[in-house]
Amino acid sequence: MAGTFRMLALFGALTLIFVVIGYVIGALFFNDWILGSVMFLIFAGLMNFVSYFWSDKIVLWSYRAKIISKAEQPRLYNIVNKVCLKADLPMPKLAIVATQTPNAFATVRNKDRAVVAVTEGILSLLSDDELEGVLAHEMAHVKDRDILVMSVAATIAGAISFAARMALWSSLGSRRGNGNGLLLLLVAITAPIAALLLRLAISRSREYKADKEGALMIQRPLALARALEKLEEGNRRRPMDRGSPATSSLFIVNPFRGGSFVTLFMTHPPVAVRVRRLEALAEQTGYIG
């Protein structure tokens, strides 16, 4: 219940930021703060609607993921099926992304419509135990409907950034006084940062939870820990060359390594911290595999 409440509070905060931008723009340019607030609230609702019903298809299309059958990838199918039996979850559709960047993600609106996608690179990099840990992590996301949560949060955050850019351009061209221009400039700068921090808070807290639940599913926390270390190094050496950084939170590790970022602005918790947590979990539970 506490986790659900926190997620609802984060969504409420994201939507509030969007409405505040509409309030400022409506009050300064239309002399009607109600109109601006309602317009931006409706726009946020439309973005949520699109994200809920089509985000999974959009993500798969952006990475050119190909849905495959058991006959095409028996190893992958058998490992996912084993995880699903342990977690009492329906078998998802499976997809392959034709890239040597080792990674995996899930996209889902509900447990019966899930798709788990892996790259060609991860299949050649990880052992069966390590791959099972990664897929258990993704099925934990499916179980908790995390992908829907993160997709909607990313959509709202992107919309806030777009609205803030509108405010920035308006402030640069404003002739209604320095005060109005400065206010719009302040909104344009702070709103995207606030939206980003809120979205990352959702992503990072959910990654820790999926690590723990996935490790407990297979009773081998250290297998997932080893996989995370390999994946971090593999993605550092060969970052993703397709898709959008806006979807990076869907992957088990960040696939876009364009440079050094302050930890606060990472879409994923540091892998070293995740590994330490999994090692501590192994000690607590006695699962040492």
Percent of the chain with pLDDT over 70: 80
Q: What is the dihedral of CA 66, 72, 74, 78, to 10 degrees?
A: 30
- Per-residue confidence (pLDDT) for residue 162, from 0 to 100: 73
Written as six digits, the tokens of 138 are 């993704």
Q: Which residue has the higher pLDDT, 156 or 133?
A: 133
DSSP letters spanning 240-273: --SS-GGGGGGBSS-----S---GGG-SS--HHH
The whole-chain average pLDDT of the chain stands at 83
Task: Name the one residue in this structure whose structure tokens are 């078998």.
Answer: 91
- Per-residue confidence (pLDDT) for residue 63, from 0 to 100: 93
- Per-residue confidence (pLDDT) for residue 260, from 0 to 100: 47
- Per-residue confidence (pLDDT) for residue 67, from 0 to 100: 96
Domain residue ranges of the chain, discontinuous segments joined by +: 2-285
For the packed helices 2-29 and 33-62, what is the interaxial angle rounded to 10 degrees? 130
Q: Which residue has the higher pLDDT, 272 or 148?
A: 272
- Per-residue confidence (pLDDT) for residue 50, from 0 to 100: 76
**Hey, which residues are catalytic here?**
138
Max avg pLDDT among 240-249, 257-266, 279-288: 279-288
Q: How confident is the model at residue 112 (pLDDT cuts 50, 70, 90)?
A: confident
Q: State the amino acid at position 212 in one-letter form.
A: K
Q: How confident is the model at residue 261 (pLDDT cuts 50, 70, 90)?
A: very low
Written as six digits, the tokens of 202 are 């959702």
Q: Is the pLDDT of residue 247 over 80?
A: no
* Lowest-pLDDT range of 133-137, 186-190, 213-217, 225-229: 186-190
Q: Is the pLDDT of residue 166 over 80?
A: no
Q: Which residue has the higher pLDDT, 3 or 130?
A: 130
Q: How far apart are CA 248 and CA 281, in angstroms?
A: 26
Max avg pLDDT among 11-20, 28-37, 88-97, 149-158: 88-97
Task: Specify whether the CB–CB gap between 107 and 114 falls below 8 A.
Answer: yes
Q: How far apart are CA 252 and CA 232, in angstroms?
A: 10
